[in-house]
Chains A and B, each alone.
Chain A
Amino acid sequence: MKALRYSLRMVARARGQALLRSFAAAVAAALTFFVLAQSGTVRAQADQLSVGGIDAGLVERATLSLALVAIAVGALQVGVLMTRVVLQRMHEIGVLKASGVADRDIFLVFAFEAVLYGLVGGVLGCLVGLLISVFGPMPEAGEALRAAAITVGVSTVVSALAGIAPARKAIRAPAVEALSHSW
């Protein structure tokens, strides 16, 4: 509980940065959501396309690879972002360690923040993606929900993994190392 409170206070103190990070995560998530939601529309039209000249298999393949690339790029983008956020705060890990905070609590702080950014970014991204859908055909509700679920899920899980890995490494090492880490 203490860890969560500390984490929230740190986020509140650096509001500008927190906003920027959520924005970055949201843009990546918006890409995933938009492409996923629209790929449903393209796929729906592919059924009718089998009559026309174009190969329905090709459309199917294009839809699949679009979704694949959107998910992969969104996930990697969030991963890179979280890695940067944690590396930026190595010094803080060192200070916390040196002042005798339990490793488990430090870990909780960073894990919580990583999940928070992933979750907020994912949800914001879905909203932005839905707004952008005005330019294209509106996705169906079911399609949009599925895309939103995938987007938020991937964003949260990847953000957590990407945030936890460098934090864990820093927590395991001696405090001096984290303190002398320059960014």
Chain B
Amino acid sequence: MPKLVKLALANWRRQRLRAALTAGSLTLSVGAVVFVYALSVAFQSSGSAAVSRAIGNADIWVVPAKGVTVDRDEGEIKAAGALPAGLQAQIEATPAVTGVAAVSGSGEGTLRVSSSDPRRTGAALKEDGLTVSSDPGRTKAQAGTSALAYMVTVNTDRFGVYTFTQQFEAVQVNEVAASVMGVVGRVTLALGFFSVLSSLLISIDERRREFGILAAVGITDDVLYLFLVESTLLIAVGLVGGIVFGGAMFALLMPGIFSVGTVFQAVALVSVYFPIMLIAGALIPAWRLLQKSPLELLRTSP
């Protein structure tokens, strides 16, 4: 094995430009994947982070456990099921609540809680056994739970003119946008894989002559191992380069939502999928090439 690594490195040294171009092409693809994927992850988490940030001095909306549905025709929130009796009194007793109002036109069973400290109120509601979440998805509570979900929507100072319906829809739209980003991330992953694969295929094709000469002196199997070691080393270089490149681009272009964690998620995905798929994807064409007669390889070499 060390001998093969030494040989592979010697091959690189001899063809510095070729190795550099292949590694550069791999770096570009991996970098693009890391960037787009990290962005889509960050986007999704920043969506929920933005909602939590809005807790600041927002109102708290209490909705029934069975959830709410948006009736687009009437432009209203319809609550599924009524609020349990006594809830209003219970909520009024929680700390920091300054007022409770049943909101008209927002469907039955929806309460608007004005609170001087929504975080404390939220914590108190949680202690009372109520499901507390700022995640709109959680307003659809699991069957059987009698708990209520509360949803913290946006800051009333800024968005006072919007109704609960509008705010709720905005959060939904937010999720849709995140899912578009998710699709973009996944497609980029697939395209990046094909991009890396095609650049490896070209690097196999470039070496027809070399393979032909080696096959002519009868060392086909060793050539395959040599190629495997060489392309593994190349992929490793491309992966590291791409991760650094993608991470640096992310930090440069989106400093607002950059975090090592999101980049690391993309890195984990890339480093799990790429090496396995690529070594298989590059090895099979190389093996097929070596099945041809050396004469043909030499004749068709570019």
Contacts and interface: CB of A to CB of B under 8 A. Distances in A.
A70 B31 CA distance: 11
B170 A49 contact: yes
B302 to A, nearest CB: 5
Interface stretch (A19-27, A106-114, A170-178): A19-27
B302 A80 contact: no
A59 interface: yes
Contacts of B67: none
Interface in A56-80: 58-59, 61-62, 65-66, 68-70, 73, 76-77, 80
Contacts of A34: 184, 187-188, 191
A126 interface: no
Contacts of A81: 25, 199, 202
A35 B188 contact: yes
A53 B43 contact: no
A183 B301 CA distance: 11
A14 B302 contact: yes
A88 B187 contact: no
A46 B192 contact: no
Interface stretch (B50-58, B84-92, B140-148): B50-58
Contacts of B173: 45, 48-49, 52
Interface in B38-75: 39, 43, 46-47, 50-51, 53-54
A85 to B, nearest CB: 8
A142 B29 CA distance: 28
B205 to A, nearest CB: 6
B249 interface: yes
For the side of the interface on B, what is the size category? Answer: 35 or more
B206 interface: yes
B198 A27 contact: yes
A7 interface: no
B43 to A, nearest CB: 6
Interface string A69-102: 1100100110011011001110000000000000
Contacts of B201: 20, 24
B302 A69 contact: no
Nearest to B172: A52
Contact of A70 (B22, B32, B180, B202): B32
B46 A54 contact: yes
Interface residues of A: mostly helix, strand, loop or mixed?
A: helix
B10 interface: no
A38 interface: yes
Contact of A58 (B15, B32, B183, B257): B257
Contact of B254 (A14, A53, A61): A61
B154 interface: yes
Contacts of B39: 62, 65-66
B176 interface: yes
A21 B21 contact: no
Nearest to B204: A20
A62 B43 contact: yes
B187 A132 contact: yes
Given A28-B195, A65-B254, A80-B21, A42 B180 contact: yes
A53 B21 contact: no
Nearest to B134: A53
A31 B174 contact: no
A73 B191 CA distance: 12
Interface in A121-139: 132, 135-137
A27 B154 CA distance: 42
Contact of B195 (A14, A16, A27, A132): A27
B194 A137 contact: no
A103 interface: no
10 contacts: A24-B198, A24-B202, A30-B191, A41-B180, A51-B159, A51-B167, A52-B50, A52-B51, A84-B18, A132-B191
Closest 6 CB pairs of A and B: A52-B170, A53-B50, A65-B253, A24-B198, A51-B170, A136-B183
